[in-house]
Amino acid sequence: MIRSGPGRLFFTVLVALLFLFLLGPVLLVFPLSFAADSVITWPPSGFSVKWYLALLGQPDLALALRNSLVLAAIVTGLALVVALPAAVAIGRGQFAGRDALMTLISMPLLLPTIVLGLALLILFVGQGLIGSWTGLVLAHLLVTVPYALRVLVTALGTLPASVEEAASSLGAPALSVFFRITLPLMAPGLIAAAAIVFLVSFDEVVITLFIVGPKLTTLPVALFHYVESRTDPLVAAVSVLMVLFSLGLVAVLERAVGLRRAVGGKGG
Amino acid sequence: MTQAAPGTAPHLLLDRLEKRFGTTLAVQALSLSVGRGELLGLLGPSGCGKTTTLRMIGGLMPASGGRIVVAGRDVTALPPHRRDMGIVFQNYALFPHMTVAQNLSFGLEMRKVPAAERAARVQKALEMVRLGAFAARRPRELSGGQQQRVALARALVIEPSILLLDEPLSNLDANLREEMRNEIRDIQQRLGITAVFVTHDQAEALAICDRIAVMRGGVLEQLGTPYEIYERPASEFVAGFVGRANRMAAVREASGAVQLGPLRLQGSGEAAPGPVTVMIRPHRIALCDAVPEGEGWNGATGRVARSTFIGDLLSLEVEIGGASLLVEQHTFAGRAMPRPGEAATLRWRAEDTLVFPRSAAA
Ligand SMILES: Nc1ncnc2c1ncn2[C@@H]1O[C@H](COP(=O)(O)OP(=O)(O)OP(=O)(O)O)[C@@H](O)[C@H]1O
Ligand SMILES: [Mg+2]
């Protein structure tokens, strides 16, 4: 521990610089979004809220936002339905190859997303899944289930098996043990998993780029295309809203369960 | 003492029970029976298979071989929720998201006991462990001793046919441990419930158990009352594990007498002539004025090597013909304190001179 003197000062400055480096670009979009200019310039020549008002006149972006929210909600529900039984099997089951299975399911996290996107494109084209809700949901599940599984397995790991054993010794069959004991005790993990899945899905752009079609697109992809042709501060305004939305979700999560506990730290 | 009356069937019977983990045998050919209303202690050093045995009885772990029979019925293949056994875990394993009352109520709900009766039984069980006022608390709002009592009440409120306790006191401090062990014994006797109590603390086992099964390396070493285990240990291991003892290498002659260095001793025990181990408990050796003559007594003179006053005990180390004997005496006001270097005369009974075949281990 560095407690005092120049060492401490150095440490503080280092941390401050690190934060600035990490958060600088994010912080920058706040003033940019209030710029009065019609192209992104730094520093802005004046301030206004016109780009926020301009958002209202963008039906394409509004539709993409609606799509993204619906998609994230569906993906969140399905990812939990898939990941919960898998987490219980991996966290509580005793079978050969448990670790191998966990590694296999975590694989999409380790592969370059561009490779996944290409693979899905090849796979989906023949099935007519490109530009379809089914295709988007499947692609997002592939990316998000590993996250959900990680969080849920961690949540199960912090749950002592003896509590479940106590329940079964008191006369509870396996299903009662699960619904009366295991599931309620996993609630923080479930909420955390849901929030993370929602955010990852809402944010996903690389793989989604390959899957979307002309009639069905998501907000990040729509923004991506928007900045390809235009460079006005509208995207900054959207970015600000997305940052605030994400922060809001994290704040709710922290309030509800304590983020650190939910993702497996000590605390609590 | 409540024990299986001769002729009546045992309440719990373990028949050549066995547990294998890969190639290691954690429990081997364990056969024993527990009478109705009996409190049986499973005692042994760490890793000897006590928990494994208890978990097999409770159905939390499948047996690799052998049978578990309760009241004449083979339960070996039954899952835990159909065994009707109450288990008290070392870490209590209370349900953290439920109140104390809900913890107790859980087992009754699983048994489809009507709500009104449930509430009454929960309250009665809580009062039995003197926690009547704590029904609405959460487990984390209780002290260790209180949590322990909730765990006990939760296991008892379902009126199980057998109560299993795995080192239920090991997380408590010494004073509370003694109080709680007596409380467990009281309740067990009042309810007349059959119980298996796992511990590695020999004092705890001696104090409250009707009979004790001493285990070592997955094998039952001796099964007997606390008196038998302590006074007539079946092996060098049991004598050393239960209570303390001086342990010396000696030779038994064909006559039965034991030659310990220059000393010729009378000993108890069936050990055949040849190399033996002699064990004598420190407090069974007395300081006296003259080496006793005659049947039934052994004696020796030696030199005090160390003398320690520990309040209620006087602890001496006495050198006798090459061996060093630990001697413990109760103190009383005015008792003379032998000093290092002084001569001391000792005597002890032949029955207290335990003779065992010399074993390589232990
Ligand atoms: N799940 C397991 N897998 C492999 N080996 C095990 C397992 N559980 C126990 N063992 C082994 O079985 C033996 C007996 O273990 P057990 O837990 O029954 O000991 P114990 O007598 O309860 O000890 P303690 O007093 O330390 O609790 C030990 O050698 C242990 O390493
Ligand atoms: Mg144990």
CA distance linking residue B251 with residue B278, whole number of Å = 9
pLDDT digits (tens, 9 = 90+) for A85-122: 989 888 887 777 778 888 887 777 788 888 888 988 99
Our mutation pick for probing the ligand 1 site, out of B20, B23, B46, B48, counting the most ligand atoms within 8 A of Cβ, is B48
Could you tell me the mean pLDDT of each successive run of 10 residues in chain B, 362 residues long?
53 96 94 95 95 96 95 94 94 94 96 95 92 93 92 94 93 85 92 94 94 96 95 92 91 88 85 90 90 84 91 90 87 82 91 86 46
Cis peptide before A43 (omega within 30 of 0): yes
Query: How many structural domains are present in chain A?
Result: 1
Please state, as a whole number, how many other Cβ atoms lie within 10 Å of the Cβ of residue A42. 9
Ligand 1 touching residue B46 (CB < 6 A): yes
Does residue A6 carry a pLDDT above 80?
no
Give a yes or no: residue A36 inside a domain.
no
Look-up of token digits 């039934």:
B296
Residue A102 to residue A48: CA distance in whole angstroms: 51
| Length of chain B in terms of residues written | 362
Place of tokens 């005496």: B329
Let me know if residue A37 belongs to a domain.
no
What confidence category does residue A245 fall into, taking pLDDT thresholds of 50, 70 and 90? confident
The residue nearest atom 8 of ligand 1, judged by CA position, is B52
CATH number, domain of A120, equals: 1.10.3720.10
Maximal CA-CA distance, chain A:
73
Interior/surface letters A220-238, b for 16+ CB within 10 angstroms, e for the rest: bbbbbebeeeeebbbbbbb
Rounded to an integer, the average pLDDT of A62-66 is: 89
Q: Which ligand lies nearest to the CA atom of residue B49 in the structure?
A: 1
DSSP letters of B251-290? EE-TTS-EEETTEEE--BS-PPSEEEEEEE-GGG-EEESS
Provide the pLDDT for residue B7: 46
CA B70 to chain centre: 23
Q: Are A167 and A180 in contact (CB under 8 A)?
A: yes
Burial B315-346 (b: 16+ CB within 10 A, else e): ebbbebeebebbbbbeeeeeeeebeeeeebbb
Mean pLDDT, residues A237-242 taken together: 87
A228 occurs within a structural domain: yes
Q: How far apart are CA B8 and CA B115, in angstroms?
A: 37
Q: Across B44-140, where does the E strand assignment appear? A: 65-70, 73-74, 85-88
Answer yes or no: do B95 and A163 touch at CB < 8 A. Answer: yes
Does any domain span residue A38?
Answer: no
Radius of gyration, CA atoms only, chain A: 22
Classify A160 as helix, strand or coil. coil
* pLDDT, mean of residues A248-259: 76
Mean pLDDT estimate for chain A: 85
User: Is the pLDDT at A265 greater than 60, yes or no?
Assistant: no
Rg (alpha carbons) of chain B, rounded to whole number: 24
| pLDDT for position B1 | 42
Task: Give the pLDDT score at A182.
Answer: 93
Q: Which residue in chain B has the smallest CA separation from A168?
A: B81
Q: How far is CA A224 from CA A47, A217, B6, B105, in A?
A: 25, 11, 87, 57
Task: Report how far residue A257's alpha carbon sits from residue B139's, in angstroms, rounded to the nearest whole number.
Answer: 19
Q: Report yes or no on A24 lying in a domain.
A: no
Is B107's Cβ below 8 Å from some Cβ in A? yes
DSSP type of residue B229:
H
Alpha-carbon dihedral A213, A219, A222, A226, rounded to 10 degrees: 180
Residue A23 domain flag: no
Q: Which residue has the tokens 């304590």?
A: A258
| Rounded Cα gap, residues A106 and A142, in angstroms | 10
Report pLDDT digits (tens) over A189-234.
898 899 989 999 998 988 898 888 888 889 989 888 888 888 888 8
What are the tens digits of pLDDT across the range A121-159? 999 888 888 888 999 999 999 999 999 998 899 889 888
The predicted pLDDT at position A257 comes to: 67
Which of the listed residues B52, B165, B199 should we mutate to test ligand 1's pocket, taking the one with most ligand atoms within 8 A of CB? B52
How far apart CA B293 and CA B286 sit, in angstroms, is: 15
Q: What is the pLDDT of residue A162?
A: 93
Q: Is residue A5 part of a domain?
A: no
Q: Which two tokens stand for residue B64?
A: 């690799």
Contact present, B62 and B140 (Cβ < 8 Å): no
**Cα B89–Cα B95–Cα B96 angle in degrees, nearest 5:** 120
Strand pairing report for B194-199 and B39-43: parallel
Pairwise CB contact (< 8 Å): B106 & A170: yes
> Which residue in the set B91, B94, B110 is minimally distant from A171, CB to CB?
B110
Query: Reduced to 3 states, what is the DSSP secondary structure of residue B18?
Result: strand
DSSP-assigned states of every residue in B314-357: EEEEEEETTEEEEEEEE--TT---PPTT-EEEEEEESTT-EEEE
User: Locate tokens 């408990």: which residue?
Assistant: B281
More confident residue, A44 or B137: B137
Which pLDDT score is estimated for B362?
Answer: 43
Residue B92 falls in which region: left (phi positive, over 0), alpha (psi -120 to 50) or beta:
left
Backbone φ and ψ for A238, nearest 5 degrees, come out as -60, -45
**Predicted local distance difference test score (pLDDT) of residue B3:** 46
Domain housing A203: 47-262
Minimum CA–CA partner of B162 in chain A:
A169
Strand partners, B68: B14
- Output the pLDDT for position B42: 96
d(C-alpha B69, C-alpha B76), whole Å: 7
Q: Tell me which residue has its CA closest to atom 22 in ligand 1.
A: B51
- Residues in chain B closer than 8 A to A163 (CB atoms): 93-96
Chain A contact for B94 (CB, 8 A cutoff): yes
Task: Indicate the SS3 state at residue A100.
Answer: helix
Percent of chain A with pLDDT over 70: 94
The Cα–Cα gap between B91 and B109 comes to: 23
Tell me, yes or no, if B91 comes closer than 8 A to chain A by beta carbon: yes
Whether the per-residue pLDDT at A261 is higher than 80: the answer is no
User: Quick one: pLDDT at residue A4?
Assistant: 62
What tokens appear for B66 in the block? 């052998």
Interface predicted TM-score (ipTM): 0.83
For position B264, what pLDDT does the model report?
87
From edge to edge, which strands make up the β-sheet containing B85-88? B85-88, B162-166, B194-199, B39-43, B211-216, B219-224
**Residue B123: which H helix or E strand, with range?**
helix B115-128
